[in-house]
Structure 1
Amino acid sequence: MRVYRDLTEITVPVPSTQHSAPKLQRAVTIGVFDGVHIGHRVLIGRLISEARQQGLTATVITFANHPQSVLNPPSPPLLTTVEERLELLSELGVDETVVLPFTLELSRLTAEQFCREILVGKLACKLLVVGDDFALGYRREGTVARLKELGAQLGFEVIVVSPVTSEGMRVSSSEIRQLLLQGEVERACELLGRSYRIVGNVVKGVGRGRKLGFPTINLKVEPEKLLPRFGVYAGKVSVAQSDKTNFTLRTLRPAQHSFDAAAYIGQRPTFGETEPVVEAYLLDFNGFVPEGTKVALELVAFIRPDQKFDSAAALVDQMSRDVQAVREKLKARA
């Protein structure tokens, strides 16, 4: 998948005469696509299908920052960082992704300006695929109905994809965030269509886990990444085989470098700390994971909430029970 991070990088075929229009060659969809959940996948699947049938390039426009960071800050924590999003879009078969910074200037473009200058002028768009509640342009005046009018004027078709629902509710990134913050990981994963994944580099910890008999790897996580409800989780850890490993769906399937894990996400209240940490105890693993190694933690199930213990001994006793609970949970799902 080709990635553009600036509109100036994109080339449009030059018209054959001064008065002819550019060749329209792209099928486009637009959105944050945070999480690339099952609803997003249906829409993007339609984009790719239509593009293949019509001989177009399947192109996604997404944003380097959440629009809410400009329009109504603060922005919500992200289910997927930009790089994770790009990996998932590539896995789905998207041909190109344009990553735009969402700025005040961009938000003030009218729907007509956006369609004329960017969709047609920069991207040579022939087909726009959107959800039924999609809108763009200043104050969201570019509704589906308005976009169809503009498409008729500017030479592109608009296809509207119906929403995906689950248990009577529309699947959305905001709903998945809420589920994760409540510790409902298994339900969140159903809506994502995969396990919730936290990717980071291994950093040096204080060594407390090793002293307690449960050596852990500590992950440095991007600050914008959503951390779910604090507590203990059953999970899987995949260790990168090289610096260039991308943790796509393909590379996370069972492999030599994948391990069952008891994961902890929280503030370690027993030791009076307040900074959230993400760490994992790899089950039946006696090796060493060097600092700087890229690691992906997949959360499978919530075991228990974070809590403060009266002593380190009480914590160790609970950790032993946690590990057993993790083993049972993962065995049941095997």
Structure 2
Amino acid sequence: MSAEDEKNLKDNVERPAVRRAVTMGNFDGCHMGHQALFRTLKAVAEVNGLVPTVITFEPHSNYVLYGPGDPLLLTTTEEKREFIESLGLEFLVLPFTSEVAKLPFDVFVRRELIEKRGVCSMFFGHDHCFGAGGKGNYETITQAFPELSTAMLSIVLHKGERVSSSAVRNALLNGDVARAQTYLGRPYRLSGTVVVGKRLGHTIGFPTANLQVEPYKFLPKGGVYVASARLGGGQGEERIFRAVVNIGTQPSAPGNHHLAIEAYLLDFDEDIYGQHLALDLLAYLRPEQKFASLEDLVRQIGMDADTAKNYNGNHWAE
């Protein structure tokens, strides 16, 4: 075998079998700005016979650079995976460490993207940068890697306002889930595992599911919400119920008043401890309040349940 044949054989063995078009970032919220990028990526990739791939990091890059918990997360990694894969895109998670943060952008692109993952096309948001000193962006990568096909999308606006993760957080801090939905293109979701709570709801005829979300999950303004509760999914059949959700410290319950997420699922009476539950917030009803008696609490929950049952979302109309 000639030296040239050996080189060709080695190149064929080491070259990734998959050719990818990618976009890369934290994509917290997967909001309408992100989705515009995802749609363009998918359309161009399919025309060129490439696998459209969204690459994100675990943990959020800011947690390594500045400390955990800033920002609180609109979407957990698994929530991102579920949403992005539902769009027909491949989803890859890369570990983000202090060592990765120190890599020059050209080393990262060459080693982690081109050589390991067969990337031949990259798509950028208008302000995305990465690598040591934030020097990796559309301009520098286009110049450093002429063999890559690159494209950059412009800012996405909603009624003249830039769509961003910060805009979503600000809306949710005010309990304005309808406004948050216009940025997200879908209701804001809280998901996690059903755990044992104070069980006060069982004693007053309104059993609630206490939801334990992942650490650093962003919670909206405390209060009572109408929600769509989703049980199951994955390998099983998903079931959907209307629900009343309380986010707060349960001031009317005895004992310690810790922050909790409680969901009363309408027309539902099953033991779901340990199961996965997703709550899509549809509307803000009222602030949390302390009631003078359990009778007053029961009366108000009944009124909230009636409101939730009759809620049709007409006020979402733009």
Aligned counterpart, 1:51: 45
Write out aligned runs for 1:108-257 (5 A): 108-152=102-146, 155-240=147-232, 244-245=235-236, 257=239
1:258 aligns with 2:247: no
Deviations 1:281-334 (A, max 9, x none): 12233x313322222211100011122233333323332332233234337579
Q: TM-score, normalising length from structure 2?
A: 0.88
Are the structure 2 counterparts of residues 19 and 78 from structure 1 closer, same or farther at C-alpha, using a change threshold of 3 Å?
closer
Q: Which amino acid aligns with 1:137?
A: G
Deviations 1:10-66 (A, max 9, x none): xxxx97266899578221110111221111111011111111111112122101111
Q: Report deviation, 1:99.
A: 0.7
Aligned counterpart, 2:312: 330
Q: Report deviation, 1:170.
A: 1.4
Q: Which amino acid aligns with 1:101?
A: P
C-alpha RMSD of the superposition: 2.5
Aligned counterpart, 2:3: none
Aligned counterpart, 2:270: 288
Deviations 1:108-130 (A, max 9, x none): 11111112222222122211001
Moved more, 204-213 or 102-111: 204-213
Deviations 1:241-264 (A, max 9, x none): 6x744xxxxx76xxxx21111111
Aligned counterpart, 2:88: 93
Deviations 1:167-208 (A, max 9, x none): 212111222122112211111112111111222222222221
Structure 1: stretches of 5+ with no match in the other structure: 1-13, 246-250
Q: Does the CA contact (< 8 Å) of 1:70 and 1:103 recur in 2?
A: yes
Are the structure 2 counterparts of residues 320 and 119 from structure 1 closer, same or farther at C-alpha, using a change threshold of 3 Å?
same
Deviations 1:194-229 (A, max 9, x none): 111222222222221122232212222222322211
Q: Which amino acid aligns with 1:64?
A: E
Q: Which amino acid aligns with 1:115?
A: V
Moved more, 303-312 or 111-120: 303-312
Q: For residues 212 and 118 of structure 2, what CA distance do their matches in structure 1 show?
A: 40
Give the total of aligned pairs.
Answer: 307
Moved more, 205-214 or 317-326: 317-326
Q: Does the CA contact (< 8 Å) of 2:282 and 2:313 recur in 1?
A: no
Q: For residues 205 and 313 of structure 1, what CA distance do their matches in structure 2 show?
A: 20
Are the structure 2 counterparts of residues 295 and 194 from structure 1 closer, same or farther at C-alpha, using a change threshold of 3 Å?
same
Q: For residues 15 and 159 of structure 1, what CA distance do their matches in structure 2 show?
A: 32
